Structure 1
Amino acid sequence: MKFCIFVSFLLIISQLHGQVLIHAHNDYEKPEPLFNAIREKAFAIEADVYLVNGQLAVAHDRKDIDTTRTLTSLYLNAIDSMMRANKGFVTSDKKYQPVLVVDIKADGEKVLAELVKLTKKYPRIFDQGTNPNPLYLLVSGDRGPIAKWKNYPASVRFDGRPSEVYDAAALNKLVTISESYGKYYRDNRLQTDSLSAMISRAHSQRKLVRLWGSPDFPATWRTFQKLGIDIINTDKVAECRQVLSIKE
């Protein structure tokens, strides 16, 4: 079963290469967490989490934690209802298969253990035996030891870095390669040669590329599109989708 799930996910990712996808940055801070991102067909929907009293609280900083705003209350309960209503899909559009990006702010291994519990609690979302089209968790931030990635369920995948080295098992768990925009912006310009080299390496491994912390304007989005960056990181999901003419 694990092999079937792995092959299915590889097929999904392979079909995404060459497309421009949207990453709904800090989605939980928007007026309608989850729902607006889904309306705009965002590929990656981001929630930052902290482990608080056995719950995954969604917040950007510890000082902002509200224990009523959890991964379960803001995302998983709603996604479960959507999948029940749409026969295993998030929406009626069966071609639309987003991922939920869980950016772990601290205590990586402990948070991952809680995520595994949640995958078991919501089989309609995460278990391919229950749902042939499961949603995947894409773990970013404090991702725990790379050597342990292979031990997590098929529904738990990881975000990588250009500087990291992966063995075959870790590479199989990897979906994206992400880096700070600042790493490629020096001397008042974008270092396109080094950025293009990174993109080429990631694409040779069949991984999707994203930069974070970039200027959130149409000119930047278009530049990234031309360079072959797969996932556009933005707080302006609707505008980005319109500017880049990303189709449903």
Structure 2
Amino acid sequence: MALITRRRALTTAGAALAGAVALPATQAVAGERRHRPRPLRRAHAHNDYEHPRPLLDALDHRFTSVEADIFLVGDQLLVAHDPVDLDPARTLESLYLDPLAARVRANHGSVHRGYRKPLQLLIDIKTEGSSTYLELDRHLKRYKHLFTTYAHGRVFPGPVTAVISGDRAARLPMEAQTVRRAFYDGRLTDLGSAAPASFIPLISDNWTNHFTWRGVGPFPDAERQKLHTIVRAAHARRQRVRFWATPDLPGPERDALWAELVAADVDHLNTDDLAGLEAFLDAHRSA
């Protein structure tokens, strides 16, 4: 009887010790989840493919939007900025589609683990838009469940949202589709048009075509008001806003302009400097 009682006491003590060890481990995991840096919802990697590790460098810096320029060569979609840089090994599949599909599988349905908002893949068409888009559409169809899809008037979110920019001739075949796995990148001239956000979810334009300010000195009041009006109009229609050709060299001018973009609630800040934008947005955490 005394032996049984002693065994029970040892078992109880062992369970208590195990619980004491397990509890901090559980708390550590929960703490890791709480303190894992969140993806940067405004961060857009312009010309992402020019980084040493296309896509992966941007994701490591917690970017939520990346841009790839494509050329149609035969039935291949090659990624490059200029025709002279074309390389048969650098395809849209090898640099973006296959890695994204693998990452989504590994992360149980998301590009950034635990972050359910889609990654934006901005695809800038450099060859004739209609034929390039039709080939791109065939490529996207091979990746089931990866892309946000428009089908018969409804949008079904996926881990990745493809948005088509570049040659404007892509618009016609896209508008004719009742089912598509991509959306159209509009311009400021499309703001307030009949095209809904289910077709044009993003309004992008060249900053220098609409604003004189480059971050030096105070932002002119009229231009600040214009910027805020643009963003409010787009957001009222559930469209996001991005400007390219903003200053991108480190320094006070870039920081001043980025700060105004954040204050106006511009959705995507365009950069080639991944670490620079990451540091800026971390310093403006409320953004």
How far does the alpha carbon of each residue in 1:106-148 deviate from its partner, in whole angstroms, 9 at most, with x for none?
21111111121112111142377xx973422111111426454
Alpha-carbon distance change, 226 to 167 in structure 1, aligned in 2, over 3 angstroms: closer
Corresponding position of 2:185? 159
Corresponding position of 2:47? 26
- Letter of the 1:70 counterpart: T
Q: Is the 8 A contact 2:187 2:204 kept in 1?
A: yes
Corresponding position of 2:175? 150
Q: Which moved more, 1:46-55 or 1:160-169?
A: 160-169
Whole-Å separation in 2 of the counterparts to 1:244 and 1:148:
37
1:204 to 2:230 alignment: no
Structure 2 length normalisation: TM-score? 0.71
Q: Is the 8 A contact 2:69 2:81 kept in 1?
A: yes
CA-based RMSD: 2.7
Which structure has more relative contact order (CA 8 Å, sep 6+)? It is 1
Whole-Å separation in 2 of the counterparts to 1:231 and 1:127:
19
Does the residue aligned with 2:243 lie in a helix, a strand or coil? Answer: strand
Corresponding position of 1:95? 116
Whole-Å separation in 1 of the counterparts to 2:44 and 2:148:
24
Q: Is the 8 A contact 2:134 2:173 kept in 1?
A: no
1:238 shift after superposition: 2.4
Alpha-carbon distance change, 136 to 151 in structure 1, aligned in 2, over 3 angstroms: farther
Pairing 1:63-78 to 2, within 5 Å after superposition? 63-78=84-99
Corresponding position of 1:133? 158
Alpha-carbon distance change, 37 to 136 in structure 1, aligned in 2, over 3 angstroms: same
Whole-Å separation in 1 of the counterparts to 2:182 and 2:204:
17
Q: Is the 8 A contact 2:133 2:170 kept in 1?
A: no
Whole-Å separation in 1 of the counterparts to 2:146 and 2:42:
22
Q: Which moved more, 1:149-158 or 1:188-197?
A: 188-197
Q: Is the 8 A contact 2:184 2:200 kept in 1?
A: yes
Pairing 1:103-142 to 2, within 5 Å after superposition? 103-126=124-147, 133-142=158-167
Does the residue aligned with 2:188 lie in a helix, a strand or coil? Answer: coil
Does the residue aligned with 2:169 lie in a helix, a strand or coil? Answer: coil
Pairing 1:171-210 to 2, within 5 Å after superposition? 171-186=197-212, 191-210=223-242
Alpha-carbon distance change, 89 to 186 in structure 1, aligned in 2, over 3 angstroms: closer
Whole-Å separation in 1 of the counterparts to 2:213 and 2:63:
33
Alpha-carbon distance change, 212 to 169 in structure 1, aligned in 2, over 3 angstroms: closer
How far does the alpha carbon of each residue in 1:149-192 deviate from its partner, in whole angstroms, 9 at most, with x for none?
33343420111111136764554211111111102333876632
Q: Is the 8 A contact 2:111 2:159 kept in 1?
A: no
Q: Is the 8 A contact 1:147 1:170 kept in 2?
A: no
Does the residue aligned with 1:214 lie in a helix, a strand or coil? Answer: coil
**Length, aligned pairs only:** 229
Whole-Å separation in 2 of the counterparts to 1:73 and 1:146:
26
Structure 1 residues not aligned, in runs of 5+: 1-18
Does the residue aligned with 2:94 lie in a helix, a strand or coil? Answer: helix
- In our comparison, the structure showing a higher alpha carbon Rg is 2
- Letter of the 1:108 counterpart: G
Q: Percent identity?
A: 33
Q: Is the 8 A contact 1:149 1:170 kept in 2?
A: no
How far does the alpha carbon of each residue in 1:59-91 deviate from its partner, in whole angstroms, 9 at most, with x for none?
111121112111011111111111222222223
Q: Is the 8 A contact 2:197 2:239 kept in 1?
A: no
Alpha-carbon distance change, 243 to 22 in structure 1, aligned in 2, over 3 angstroms: same
Alpha-carbon distance change, 21 to 32 in structure 1, aligned in 2, over 3 angstroms: same
- Letter of the 1:200 counterpart: R
